[in-house]
Amino acid sequence: MKGRIIGISGPTVTVDIPDLKLYDRVLLGGERLQGEVVRLDTGRAMVQVYEDTRGLALGEPAEGLGFPLSAKLGPGLLSGIFDGLQRPLDRMAAAHGPFILPGKHLPPLNLDEGWDFTPLKKSGESVAEGEAIGTFREGSHEHPVHSSAAGELTTIVSGKVKLEEPVAVNAENIKLYGHGEWPIRLPRPYRKKLAPTVPLITGQRVIDFLFPLAKGGTAILPGGFGTGKTILEQAIAKYADIDVVVYVGCGERGNEMAEMLEEFGELADPWTGRRLMDRTVMVANTSNMPVAAREASIYTAVTIAEYYRDMGCHVLLLADSISRWAEALREISSAMEEMPGEEGYPTYLASRLATFFSRAGVVETMSGEIGSLSIILSVSPPGGDLTEPATQACLRTSGAFLMLDTDLAHRRHFPAINWSQSFSLYDADMGAYFEKETSPNWNRHRQRCRNILQRAEKLREVAAIVGAEGMQDSDQLILEAAERIRLEFLCQNSYSDDAFSTPELTAEKIGEIIGWTDETETKPAAGEPLESIIRRPKT
Amino acid sequence: MRLAEHRYKTISSLRSQLLLVEKVAEVRLGEVVRVVGPDGRSQEGEVLLVDNHTVLVQIFGEGRSLDLIETTVIFTDTVKQAPLSLNMLDRVFDGSFNPIDGLPAPLPVKWVPVSGMPINPTSRARPEEFIETGFSAIDGLNTLVKGQKLPIFSCAGLPAKEIVADILKNCTVSSGSDVEQQAVVFVALGLSHYEYSYYMDTLGETETNFVAFINLASDPVVERLLAPRFGLTVAEYLAFEKDMDVLVVITDMTNYCDALREISTSREELPGRRGYPGYMYSDLASLFERAGRLKGRPGSITMLPVVTMPEDDITHPIPDLTGYITEGQIVLARDLHRQGIFPPIDVLPSLSRLMQQGIGKGSTGENHRRTANLLYLHYAKGCDLRGLEAIVGREGMSGADRNILEFTDSFEREFIHQGDLRRDIAATLDSGLSILKRYGLEET
């Protein structure tokens, strides 16, 4: 399927290749830039190009590949860093230098690398198409290898085998390989979806205690610039009790990705003690990399995440930030001259986001195991205005809303999660879990904590008028308790040992403050002067 | 490569700086064209859009005196490139890279496309070397490190240019203080002649090498989009090929964004917030993300763009999108300026995201983080209490609160305010600690 370029407009190119299918991959020009068909008309097709189109010429050759954009799946993804098209950035740097050049590609998986293969079938046995014939071991993960064709196996290997070599050959001389691919825009199948019942422990007290997340659930973190979205996402990536983390730097800073790469190589997973990088896959499409690849990056990432979920893992996908993805969508839509919706975003923004969110969940996999995929997205609303389309579209489908507050961030209160506006729909279910597993007081203390914070907010309004001196002693005590909760419990400095708090520690800390509040509440009535009650413990 | 130059006289439409050329056989996106008018005057332009054999061209000049019949469009088969060599040092150019200091154009050693290539994130080295600016509010509380992009958010009438000039004069980017290995790339966008001459005097006073790209308020608007790209291409050459530590100062990014809006509107693109194009974030990122350091190479690009916030509004799209891309911001406040405080830096909304890596033992001092945290904690509290003070008066407040308020006043008058005095980092931290001690706040 060959043709020529007949038009170029920003990230979209028009070609005259006949017989293309929607979402087919296309290679363009002498440098063979990668693209994907996004619109078909008689005699012409519009292609979204994943690389910089500058320098592309009219009449240059274009070639349709006949299959859609897919993610390569197999052992060796963990501790890797890829761009939105799943190009391996570390090996690209070794091969082509520090800058990303257009048209340069390397296979996502290192085919030279050998992995331990354990066969499940013997030679001479017949297998059906899609049947498991063995497993590759990657760290603690077992990658099932499914037969791509039916028939009798003539040979099957055992032990260390390179990815480029077949693991088995069948009677019709078809070679079976240990790695596969999957179209990124198509969700991977599972037997059935289950309701999330187990919390996703983040190690952040304000989240685990007040706004708990669920394994298989979704959450968004909206906040203006400087409110600590990235730091919080990275903290969750570090401390979450999860098997695999897929982190997408979607249109954000290159330095942050470099820093994370370095840090995750050094730090240990607090739950298993292994290197953090060994459970992490990074997808980096920084803000200066091509916009169309940014649009694809979250799909590449979610496909990798689903692949590990299908092995029965608990997987967490973090994307920073979904607003940049929405902007990429807007840019492509506008280059295609589609009718704009609110603020220029295409009208399908909300439905695309909803489809993406619904790839999260707890599932019974095709092989009968239980796996989960949780999704946490940061949102960067322009001017911190949460009424804008991307935030509103996310709000409709996400299970938790953790609003980051500019005021809190300015006074260096981190994580700057606003406790009166945020919510979690998993609240009741997860509360019941923690009450059973961690502390019988969990729910009672949480209610009490919320009451104190809420009352303190009202009282502060009064204090602003009459002054703290003019208030009753009991009210001043509430203010004091709220301040202790804020400073000692809700704040967590991510540069200190306190950055990670187990549920037990969380329960203990809040228990101490609530205990202190209950105890001191009776003292003013007994005539004890306020000054002696409030002896602020050290922070 | 084409064997011959293409010339066309098939312009079908001409709209200020845009022209449509028909029946073009071969053309590239972003290709540079020369447009020769009936009077023989030649202007440069760039291909924006290709649709079959119709081509949309944007010209970098004014478009004056062009017509539909006699005007010739010549396609050059190359994208916009910058001529590079070390002879550019200490020279002044306009927004199209023509020398304006009266000397002949330097001979280039190589030509490089101005749009640059994205840095592979795995090749980036972590910015962690402290840069001393002499301002306590920056060095002590919002530390700048080598390879960082840290904008100054100013308001109309605030002394951003004095602060920038001061940093240009005082700061030593190179740790070895080897002047030869340092350079300043100065990009002026839409400046008045008064501001321009102020900056040029400053550059003349420093010993550091510089390269200046000057686009004054009266110069063509399209050049405002080109000048920073030339500046950054030069910076990349000096930093990553000649191992220099380069400080890029771009002022004023607000003029850049307005130029972007003007040109986007003339192309009839869909407007986003306040009329700025929807791709402004990606466009700004394509500039700011060129700052940084590379693994295994000694050079660096540190960026200090100046953004004037329209209507003093930090949520305006220009400062807002900038803040989402850069690694922090230094925010100036009119309130402090009115009180005669220089530099009038409002430390609460200011931030340096890379501070943590640049400070601490072995670099700025072990107690740096702790001192900065304490100053922030009490100053934030003091600013809250000022609201209360306005209602009940200082006399009506508790002793502890009055103490915090007095600390807040001293902090602004002695720590933030420096006048002509510049402090090294040790003096900055000492000053902060001594104010904390005076009010008994050095313990948490």
- Joined together, the tokens standing for residue A286 give 């920084």
pLDDT reading at A538 higher than 60 = no
Beta carbons of B28 and A57 less than 8 Å apart: yes
Q: What is the pLDDT of residues A184-219, one digit of tens each?
A: 999 999 999 999 999 999 999 999 999 999 999 999
Chain B residues in contact with A467 (beta carbon < 8 A): 388, 391-392, 396-397
Which ipTM value was assigned to this complex? 0.88
* Chain B: residue whose CA lies nearest to A334: B270
pLDDT average, residue stretch A524-534: 67
Kindly list the residues from chain B whose CB atom is less than 8 angstroms away from the CB atom of residue A58.
24-28, 50, 53
Mean pLDDT of B20-48: 91
CA dihedral A32, A35, A36, A40 (to 10 degrees): -80
Q: Choose among B79, B125, B353: nearest Cβ to A55.
A: B79
d(CA A157, CA B421): 75
Do residue A255 and residue B397 have CB atoms under 8 angstroms apart?
no
Nearest to A109 by CA among A307, A321, A255: A307
The interaxial angle of helices A473-484 and A442-466, nearest 10 deg, is 120
* Interacting residues of B284 by C-beta distance below 8 A, sequence separation 6+: B253, B257, B321, B322, B325
DSSP run (H or E) holding A220: strand A218-222
- β A168-170/B54-59 pair status: unpaired
Smallest CA–CA distance from B56 into chain A, residue: A9
Copy the structure tokens of residue B395. 């006399």
CA distance B189 to B196: 10
Decide if A382 and B317 are in contact by the 8 Å CB cutoff.
Answer: yes
A396-429 pLDDT tens trace: 999 999 999 999 998 889 999 999 999 999 999 9
Q: Which residue of A has its CA nearest to B399?
A: A469
Backbone angles phi, psi at B251, to 5 degrees: -140, 125
Q: Å from A127 to nearest chain B CA? A: 42
Q: Are the C-beta atoms of residues A407 and B372 closer than 8 Å to each other? A: no
The number of beta carbons lying within 10 Å of the beta carbon of residue B299 is: 23
Q: Do A327 and B397 touch (CB under 8 A)?
A: no
- Judged by a CB distance cut-off of 8 A, whether residue A330 touches chain B is yes
Q: Which of A386, A225, A234, A320 is nearest to B349 (CA)?
A: A225
pLDDT, one tens digit per residue, over B91-149 is 999 998 999 999 999 999 999 999 999 999 999 998 989 998 999 999 999 999 999 99
Q: Cβ of B38: how many Cβ atoms within 10 Å?
A: 12
The pTM score is: 0.92
> Please, which pLDDT band fits residue B444 given cuts at 50, 70 and 90?
low
pLDDT at B264 over 80: yes
Residue B278 above 90 pLDDT?
A: no
Compute the distance between CA of residue B46 and CA of residue A487 in angstroms, rounded to an integer.
57
Lowest mean pLDDT of A449-453, A533-537, B20-24, B399-403, name the range.
A533-537
DSSP codes of every residue in B122-169: GGEEPP--EE--S-HHHHTTS-EETT-B--EEE-TTS-HHHHHHHHHH
Residue A259, classed as helix, strand or coil, is helix
Q: Between A and B, how many residue pairs show a Cβ–Cβ distance under 8 A?
A: 204
> B89-356, what's its fold?
Rossmann fold (3.40.50)
Q: What is the pLDDT of residues B193-235, one digit of tens each?
A: 999 999 999 988 888 889 999 999 999 888 899 999 999 999 9
Given a cut of 80, whether residue A143 has pLDDT beyond it is yes
- C-alpha distances out from residue A515 to A116, A434, A485, A518, B343, Å: 55, 19, 12, 5, 47
Give, in order, the Cα–Cα distances in Å from B267 to each of A137, B66, B165, B177, B274. 55, 18, 37, 47, 17
Alpha-carbon distance of A291 to B120, in angstroms, equals 15
Which of B335, B229, B350, B340 minimizes the C-alpha distance to B290?
B229
Please enumerate, as own/partner, the contacts of A88-91 that have beta carbons within 8 Å and a separation of 24 or more.
Answer: A89/A284, A89/B120, A89/B121, A89/B122, A90/B122
Above 80 in pLDDT, residue A295? yes
B118 to A100: CB separation less than 8 angstroms, yes or no: yes
Q: Is the separation of the CB atoms in A206 and A415 below 8 Å? A: yes
For residues B368 and B4, what is the distance between their CA atoms, to the nearest angstrom?
64
Q: Which tens digits make up the pLDDT trace of B15-33?
A: 878 899 999 988 999 999 9
Just give the CATH number of B6-79: 2.40.10.170
The whole-angstrom distance between A197's CA and the closest CA on chain B is: 36
Query: Which pLDDT score is estimated for B154?
Result: 96
pLDDT value, residue A539: 39
pLDDT digits (tens, 9 = 90+) for A25-79: 999 998 899 999 999 999 899 999 998 888 899 999 999 999 999 999 999 999 9
Find the CB nearest A284 among B50, B121, B286.
B121
**Which residue in A257, A256, A391, A380 sits closest to B321, CA to CA?**
A380
State the smallest CA–CA distance between residue A153 and chain B in angstroms: 42
- The 3-state secondary structure of A412-443 reads CCCCCECCCCCEECCHHHHHHHHHHHCCCCHH
Structure tokens at A220: 């968004």
Give B104→chain A minimum CA distance, Å: 30
Tokens describing residue B149: 């992009």
What the block records as the tokens of A536 is 């602020």
Please indicate if any CB of chain B lies within 8 Å of the CB of A122.
Answer: no
| Predicted confidence (pLDDT) at residue B236 exceeds the cutoff of 60 | yes
What per-residue confidence (pLDDT) applies to B113?
92
3-state secondary structure of B192: coil
Q: Which residue has the tokens 């989009």?
A: B225
Least confident of A159-163, B229-233, B408-412: A159-163
- Name the nearest CA neighbour of A89 among A231, A216, A260, A236: A260
Interface test with B, best of A58, A104, A266, A492 (most B CBs within 10 A): A58
pLDDT tens across B359-395, in order?
A: 988 888 889 999 999 999 899 999 988 988 888 788 8
Q: Touching check for A334 and chain B: CB below 8 Å?
A: yes
d(CA A437, CA B92): 70
- Residues of chain A found within 8 Å of residue B307, distances taken between Cβ atoms: none
> How far apart are alpha carbons A32 and A102 in whole angstroms?
9
What is the arithmetic mean of pLDDT over A130-158? 89
Whether B261 contacts B198, CB under 8 Å: no
CB-based contact B50 A8, cutoff 8 Å = yes
Q: What is the residue-averaged pLDDT of chain A?
A: 91
> Residues of B with CB below 8 A from A380's CB?
324
Contact present, B12 and B260 (Cβ < 8 Å): no
pLDDT bin (cut points 50, 70, 90) of residue B1 is low
Question: How far from chain centre, in Å, is Cα A348?
Answer: 21
Please list every residue in chain A whose beta carbon sits closer than 8 Å to the beta carbon of residue B147.
255
B293: Cβ–Cβ under 8 A, 6 or more apart, which residues? Answer: B124, B125, B126, B127, B146, B147, B299, B300, B301
Report the distance separating Cα A469 and Cα A455, nearest Å. Answer: 18
Task: Show which of residues 246-305 on chain A sit within 8 Å of chain B, judged by CB atoms.
Answer: 249, 251, 253-255, 257-259, 261-262, 284, 286-289, 291
* pLDDT for res A472: 83
Burial call B60-83: b when 16+ CB within 10 Å, e when fewer: bbebeebeeeebbbebebebbbbb
Question: How far is Cα A3 from Cα A26, in angstroms, rounded to an integer?
Answer: 10
pLDDT band at B171 (very low <50, low <70, confident <90, very high): low
Summary mean pLDDT of chain B = 90
User: Which domains are delineated in chain A?
Assistant: 2-68 (2.40.30.20), 114-179 (2.40.50.100), 189-425 (3.40.50.300), 442-533 (1.10.1140.10)
Q: Are A377 and A390 in contact (CB under 8 A)?
A: no
Residue type, A327: E
